[in-house]
Amino acid sequence: MELVFKLGRSSLLLILVFCLTLTGCEESTNFRAPADRGVKFEELNQSEIPRELVVGVVWSVGDGKFVEGARLAVEEINAKKEGEEFRYRLVVVDENEYSTLAGFDRLSEGKYRNASQRLAQRLAKEFSLDPDIVAVIGHSDKYNTALPAALSYQDNGILFLSSASTDPQMGHLDSPLTFQLSSPDSWLAEQMADYIISRNFQNMLVLFSRDRKSANFVEFLQKSIQRSSASVVIHQQSVPYRYLRGGDWSDFDTTSIIASLTKAANDKKIDSVLIVSDMAITASIIKGSKDFGFKLPFIVMPATSNERFISDVGEPGVGTVMPTSVDQSTPHFKQFSKRFVKYTKGASPDASAALGYDSIYLLNEAMEKANSSKPLHVSLTLQYTMPPWTGASGTFGFLENGANNHRKYFFTRLVKTDSGELQFRPEDKAKEGG
């Protein structure tokens, strides 16, 4: 009779802790990574100290300032290291460069429906073939590549700090090398439900794109409201998934959506609208609705770049509410902001910049505490021995499934300031009249 034992992530890591305490166990255990990446710092002679530790960065360049934040962190950390210590070097890959090759412009064709997996494999290949890569940070989640990429990184022994993915399935991978820095959508849905209830909305229309993550978020939201026993009615309406149209979003699409909005507002007494879609579609709907005289309040999903959204939506977006996981009023963010403005010669940081900055600092903190750059050693440190760490974008501390247990959202409103500038402000300050 054959016995099959299934071990979860936490069990695997605990066994690994025991194994690594035994001499020679690391060479024979099944936990040994396919590529022997990284080094134990304490075992090196001065002549053997690596001059560089290479970290991969994946981002959709143009969607926020994640890469700039990561580069600032590397510059600061390298400047503090003494002459005999290693330096960090970043290898940056732009998701956009490979999106067409992966088939994102042809999603309407059946054989390209797995474009996210194709793109993830192409991105992961960039790093898997380089034995000097010990970790990867980022993945903007614009193309939903973080989940399939995590599996490739795990198979190749690369630590993965998934900086922006909110996909709840990340926590079900049983991947000891994967850590989800942003809160999963299920947690955002709970806080979104609390916000909706606190604002006494009774009849909300939810517009959502026909993709897996958007549909799942609406389901999470519906369940969160039901658990609260609040008398909030959610009316659902799907909108075309932009990538199934070759990336195009026509005037006809916008007009038809606005017509449906107007009809729902009258027939169902809608008092608010939540849009669960990408920022391009969201901005298009809000701009079009104001052109048609639609005046109900909009709530939108978090954006990696507020500046991009503000530029796209313009004044018609004034009053729009957006949750953000980065509290820009904290001392940590304010200190980071000053350094970022100086580093970029005048550019203001957004949420993604703070995430990029913190991703590098968190990785460095874990490596120093582990006294090693070996991905499994760093993973164990993040999981079990390192206390919660606070940076510019918030606090990081991880559950057994690799999810960050210290993230929460702050609700902001787009206002027009006295000087005529459009900016998102915390709800209380927005009410004071920005």
Q: Which two tokens stand for residue 258?
A: 């606005």
The DSSP 8-state label assigned to residue 87 in this structure reads E
Classify 203 as helix, strand or coil: strand
The edge-to-edge listing of strands for the beta sheet with 410-416 is 233-239, 203-209, 272-276, 298-300, 321-324, 410-416, 422-426
Contacts of 236 (CB under 8 A, 6+ apart): 205, 206, 208, 218
Helix (H) or strand (E) holding 15: helix 9-20
Count of CB atoms within 10 A of residue 162's CB? Answer: 29
**CA gap 255, 43 in Å, rounded:** 66
List, as one string, the DSSP characters of 208-266: EESSHHHHHHHHHHHHHHHHHT---EEEEEEE--GGGGTT---HHHHHHHHHHHHHHHH
**Full pLDDT tens readout for the chain, 434 residues:** 333 333 455 555 544 544 444 334 444 333 444 457 988 887 766 555 557 899 999 999 888 999 999 999 999 999 998 766 788 999 999 998 888 777 666 555 556 668 788 888 888 888 998 999 999 999 987 888 999 999 999 999 999 999 999 999 999 988 999 999 998 999 999 999 999 999 999 999 999 988 888 999 999 999 999 999 888 999 999 887 655 444 454 555 778 888 888 888 888 889 999 999 988 889 989 998 888 888 899 999 998 888 889 999 999 999 999 999 999 999 999 999 999 999 999 999 999 999 999 999 999 999 999 999 999 999 999 999 999 999 999 999 999 999 999 988 999 999 999 999 999 999 866 544 33
The DSSP 8-state label assigned to residue 22 in this structure reads S
**CA gap 411, 253 in Å, rounded:** 29
List, as one string, the DSSP characters of 291-322: HTT--S-EEE---S-HHHHHHHH-GGGTT-EE
**CA gap 115, 101 in Å, rounded:** 9
Count of CB atoms within 10 A of residue 86's CB? Answer: 17
List, as one string, the DSSP characters of 164-188: S---GGGGGS--TTEEE-SPPHHHH
Q: How many CA atoms lie within 13 A of 276 on its CB side?
A: 26
Task: Kindly report, residue by residue over 30-67, the tens digit of the pLDDT.
Answer: 344 445 798 888 776 655 555 789 999 999 988 899 99
- In the chain, what are the domains? 9-183+330-396 (3.40.50.2300), 186-324+410-431 (3.40.50.2300)
